[in-house]
Amino acid sequence: MTPTRIIILGTKGMGMDIADTIACLAAQGAAVEVRGFLDDDVSTHGGHVGGHPVLGALADAARFEDCVFVNGIGTARSRHLKPDLIARTGIPPERWLTIVHPRAFVSPSARVGRGTVLLANVTVCADAVVGDHVMVLPNSIISHDTVVEDYSTIASGVCISGRCLIRRGAYLGSNSSIRENSVVGEGAMVAMAAVVTRDVAPGVTVLGCPARPLEAQS
């Protein structure tokens, strides 16, 4: 069987994690392989990252008609750029691949969107919905009936309780916890280890236990 050839956007940590996940899938018999990376950092072009070639910039994506794509760009600082970065490639929705690590668990009743990445030991529970181009890092839990909208990032060790709503482009920092029935607003950021016990407004950064808006900490 001819393997599915995958191009990863971004050569930094998340891109490498995705490449490692693809290698794990291949080792278990999945017909997938990394074709290479695309990155707008011209200093990487022509080189190799993790043994895979850097093939050019994001704008070069259209040249690779025989490949599918997955995004590995989206740190806490650059999270707002994800929709634009993905749109700039011109790649249609059906050519964005969903990546699920072999050690992740997704309930049969859950739904996971296109271009989303679930790394090792992620759990997506019953009737949860994870949108398009969402990144979920290792050891995070998305509990029953929770919705995570497009372009959000769930860092490592996050626990989202049941019936929560994580709005588009939100960022949940490592080891943060979200109380059941909570809403985290569009583009909001929950800091590392924060404990969210009430709704978070759009675009606001919260931190602490219980989590409060950044400006309220002074």
Q: What's this model's pTM, rounded to 2 decimal places?
A: 0.95
Q: Indicate whether 58 and 89 sit together in one domain.
A: yes
Q: Are the C-beta atoms of 136 and 100 separated by less than 8 Å?
A: no
What average pLDDT does the chain have? 96
130 — phi, psi (to 5°)?
Answer: -115, 125
Are both 86 and 107 inside the same structural domain? no
Q: Which of 66, 95, 124 is the last residue of a domain?
A: 95
CB atoms within 10 A of CB 147: 19
How do beta strands 205-207 and 195-196 pair?
unpaired
Which of 36, 70, 95 terminates a domain? The answer is 95
Q: Is residue 66 part of a domain?
A: yes
Pair 107, 196 in one domain: yes
Q: Is residue 217 part of a domain?
A: no
pLDDT tens for residues 150-198? 999 999 999 999 999 999 999 999 999 999 999 999 999 999 999 999 9
Q: What's the rounded Cα separation, in Å, for the pair 17 and 11?
A: 10
pLDDT in tens, 64-83: 999 999 999 988 888 788 99
Verify that 90 and 103 share a domain, yes or no: no
Q: Are residues 164 and 138 in the same domain?
A: yes
Give the range of the structural domain holding residue 168, as residue numbers without chain letter. Answer: 99-206
- Are residues 104 and 184 both part of a single domain? yes
Same domain assignment for residues 150 and 201 = yes
Same domain flag for 129 and 65: no
Q: Are residues 89 and 155 in the same domain?
A: no
Where does a domain end: 74, 95, 116?
95
CATH number where 42 lies: 3.40.50.20
Over 70: is that where the pLDDT of 34 sits?
Answer: yes
Say whether both 86 and 111 belong to one domain: no
The number of folded domains in the chain is 2
